[in-house]
Chain A
């Protein structure tokens, strides 16, 4: 069997039903195999689009995403999606072509040291040295990508090796002596955690993307409800706990709610679940949650005590650990009324500091209102995929996510250009869902070419561009911290997005009246095929509240 046909067999054995990619010289044999392999291949317009689409697919479905690129520039174009997947723990396997083995190291045409370039940003990578390795390596790659703390795995295949013939035998299991993720969680530690929680008078559950990755949202909700614990989620954890639940404090961190940040500041015990104490969460580290002890549940032992020392560390899968923690906690029969004072305090914060903005007096659309209108127009049920910037923060604050895998964004790396291709991948993975991309006039232009992919393949994503003519988040920082010296942030009124939509074979709309916005959005969502909507919003609106960089949570502004 041709090695490339064996690659196809391995993909099928892994349950891959769709891949995203773009062919080139160094992966021509692989593409010959795609010709009649019976695996759906979505031809993207730029390899970065393919990489982000694979991420969006993985985040929406929980399955491993797959992206293909050729050598050299094809491979360097997927560097950003690889880094993005690493930062946000997204399971994606990247296949890159490589020049033939005899040319390796000679600066051959379209040669790049892909393994070397990507080494710091992959969970693992493989350079194929013999075609016989391919089946084993592919199964190892999928296993590594999806297990433990998920992440990107890269397989670099020199073109001559992919042309070889190999005897193909299905691989039944992988053997990785150096890779044995802990999943179960130490029972004694779980019991300690339950006892500490039962003793706590001002507890907070701080949940992150690990809850989503572990499919632990139901367990988190049950656990929080059982203990009457207040819950806040990171940007990556939104949807891990329903926003309509009375125990929901809102998102925490730099643009989180005051209630969530004040609760962290006042807590005596914080139970972190699948979260990593990022600087956007802690603010000034030395003043972060000064009265709290920490329970830290994470599948990656290296995250525990990396930034904030944990008092009760528990390494393992959040779903399994939470299930056990619920049992242990219930057995203690803790008195729920001990939290009365804490809830009184939290309710007072909620009363005094709700998320708020000043609405326009006329028909102007405030960006926050755009998100509220999107919630109304979709019944709060859409998969919302965001780009990066102010619109991302407003979407996180105002959409109110009820379920996991309905909020997809680039958190750790903060990749502008992530939104449209990720929405495309999410829609491919969830063909029956309404998938809405929220973007900015800056972000959308960084991978706008994927609109052609959507049109050609009938991928009906609905893209709402929050158009303020600025690189809005940078402008906000220049306003607040650089004396309003607006350096290189004015994007003008370019391009004409409605015409652009038309040129790409999509449907374009332009909305600028808040009074009709909900109905207008409903119409856009009901329009078949991909839709690009240019929503004109207030030009200089700031994302508030905000913990200024390097400041403490209790000193939030706005």
Chain B
């Protein structure tokens, strides 16, 4: 608490030098980790809020946490399209939202799981298995004409693998969307 009218506090502000606080677009992807009460309709409220305010969700994952009464929603939003502080402030208004963290990329571990069904006949099969090895993926199903490969990693890695296998005939791809956890001892 600062005392009122104490000496040395009477210098006035120069209005010209005041900067507006927020509202800018950051231009990068943001990963929001949202801790919510595990109550009916929470996901609908979040999704509805995004739809109503015209915010686009890029990816969204929901799952239980170590505490049975709370769930974790991880969603990614494009900071080039939306002012992130407005997105988080609106989310905070939802009564069931307990905590939101806009995770700093450097201090965050992110993972996504993806399944790729690729056409694999003849010599292609060997090459695909080699790529799978390089990307530390796993073959989870093999048939005469196709393989299903599981890749886990950051979004970039998943996207790189998709690039590599696409020419072989990418029949199907499924992705979970990112989950994210703060590095170190502290809570996300």
> Contact residues of A with B, CB < 8 Å?
115-116, 119-120, 123-124, 127, 129, 144, 176-179, 187-188, 191-192, 195-196, 198-200, 268-269, 293-294, 300-302, 304-306, 309-313, 327-328, 331-334
A315's closest neighbor in chain B, by CB?
A: B89
In the complex, the answer to whether B93 meets A199 with C-beta atoms within 8 Å is no
Q: Please, which residues of chain B bring their CB within 8 A of the CB of A269?
A: 15
B49's closest neighbor in chain A, by CB?
A: A120
Closest beta carbon of chain B to A179's beta carbon, Å: 5
**Which segment of B20-28, B129-137, B178-186 sits at the interface?**
B20-28
5 cross-chain pairs, A with B, having the tightest CB-CB distances, nearest first: A331-B5, A309-B20, A199-B12, A302-B89, A305-B23
In the complex, the answer to whether B37 meets A199 with C-beta atoms within 8 Å is no
Q: Please, which residues of chain B bring their CB within 8 A of the CB of A129?
A: 40
Q: Please, which residues of chain B bring their CB within 8 A of the CB of A268?
A: 15
Residue B143 is within 8 A (CB to CB) of chain A in the complex = no
Q: What are 12 sample pairs from A and B whose C-beta atoms fall under 8 A apart?
A: A120-B52, A199-B12, A199-B15, A268-B15, A293-B15, A293-B18, A304-B89, A310-B21, A312-B21, A313-B21, A328-B5, A331-B9
Closest beta carbon of chain A to B21's beta carbon, Å: 5
The answer, among A187, A311, A334, for a CB contact under 8 Å with B2, is A187
Q: How far is the CA of A191 from the CA of B21 in the complex (A)?
A: 16
Residue B1 is within 8 A (CB to CB) of chain A in the complex = yes
Q: Please, which residues of chain A bring their CB within 8 A of the CB of B23?
A: 305-306, 309
The answer, among A127, A187, A331, for a CB contact under 8 Å with B41, is A127
Q: Please, which residues of chain B bring their CB within 8 A of the CB of A304?
A: 21-22, 89
Q: How far is the CA of A127 from the CA of B48 in the complex (A)?
A: 17
The answer, among A198, A302, A313, for a CB contact under 8 Å with B12, is A198
B85's closest neighbor in chain A, by CB?
A: A305
Q: How far is the CA of A332 from the CA of B11 in the complex (A)?
A: 8
The answer, among B9, B11, B15, B96, for a CB contact under 8 Å with A178, is B96
Q: Please, which residues of chain B bring their CB within 8 A of the CB of A124?
A: 95
The proximity string for B residues 37-71 relative to A, scoring 1 for CB distances below 8 Å and 0 otherwise, is 10011001100100010000000000000000000
Q: How far is the CA of A310 from the CA of B22 in the complex (A)?
A: 7
Interface positions of B from 94 to 151, Cβ below 8 Å from A: 94-99
The answer, among B10, B22, B52, B96, for a CB contact under 8 Å with A333, is B10
In the complex, the answer to whether B9 meets A191 with C-beta atoms within 8 Å is yes
A306's closest neighbor in chain B, by CB?
A: B86
Residue B31 is within 8 A (CB to CB) of chain A in the complex = no
Beyond the given pairs A305-B22, A334-B12, 18 more chain A to chain B contacts, judged by CB atoms under 8 angstroms and listed by A's residue number, are: A116-B44, A119-B41, A123-B95, A176-B95, A178-B37, A178-B94, A178-B98, A199-B12, A268-B15, A300-B93, A304-B22, A310-B22, A311-B20, A312-B21, A327-B4, A328-B5, A331-B5, A331-B10
Q: Please, which residues of chain B bring their CB within 8 A of the CB of A120?
A: 48, 52
In the complex, the answer to whether A311 meets B21 with C-beta atoms within 8 Å is yes
Known: A127-B41, A191-B9, A302-B92. Contact between A310 and B20, CB under 8 A? Answer: yes
A190's closest neighbor in chain B, by CB?
A: B2
A292's closest neighbor in chain B, by CB?
A: B15
Known: A309-B23, A332-B10. Contact between A179 and B95, CB under 8 A? Answer: yes
The proximity string for B residues 142-178 relative to A, scoring 1 for CB distances below 8 Å and 0 otherwise, is 0000000000000000000000000000000000000
Closest beta carbon of chain B to A148's beta carbon, Å: 9
Q: Please, which residues of chain A bring their CB within 8 A of the CB of B44?
A: 116, 119
Q: Please, which residues of chain B bring their CB within 8 A of the CB of A333?
A: 10
Q: How far is the CA of A312 from the CA of B21 in the complex (A)?
A: 7
Q: Please, which residues of chain A bring their CB within 8 A of the CB of B94?
A: 178
Q: Please, which residues of chain A bring their CB within 8 A of the CB of B95?
A: 123-124, 144, 176, 178-179
Q: How far is the CA of A442 from the CA of B101 in the complex (A)?
A: 49
In the complex, the answer to whether A332 meets B18 with C-beta atoms within 8 Å is no
Known: A179-B95, A306-B86. Contact between A196 and B11, CB under 8 A? Answer: no
Closest beta carbon of chain B to A46's beta carbon, Å: 27
Q: Please, which residues of chain B bring their CB within 8 A of the CB of A309?
A: 20-23
Q: How far is the CA of A327 from the CA of B2 in the complex (A)?
A: 12
Q: Please, which residues of chain A bring their CB within 8 A of the CB of B15?
A: 196, 199-200, 268-269, 293
B99's closest neighbor in chain A, by CB?
A: A178
Q: How far is the CA of A311 from the CA of B22 in the complex (A)?
A: 8
Q: Please, which residues of chain B bring their CB within 8 A of the CB of A188?
A: 2
In the complex, the answer to whether A199 meets B13 with C-beta atoms within 8 Å is yes
Closest beta carbon of chain B to A126's beta carbon, Å: 9
Q: How far is the CA of A293 from the CA of B85 in the complex (A)?
A: 20
Q: How far is the CA of A466 from the CA of B94 in the complex (A)?
A: 41
Q: Please, which residues of chain B bring their CB within 8 A of the CB of A196?
A: 12-13, 15, 18
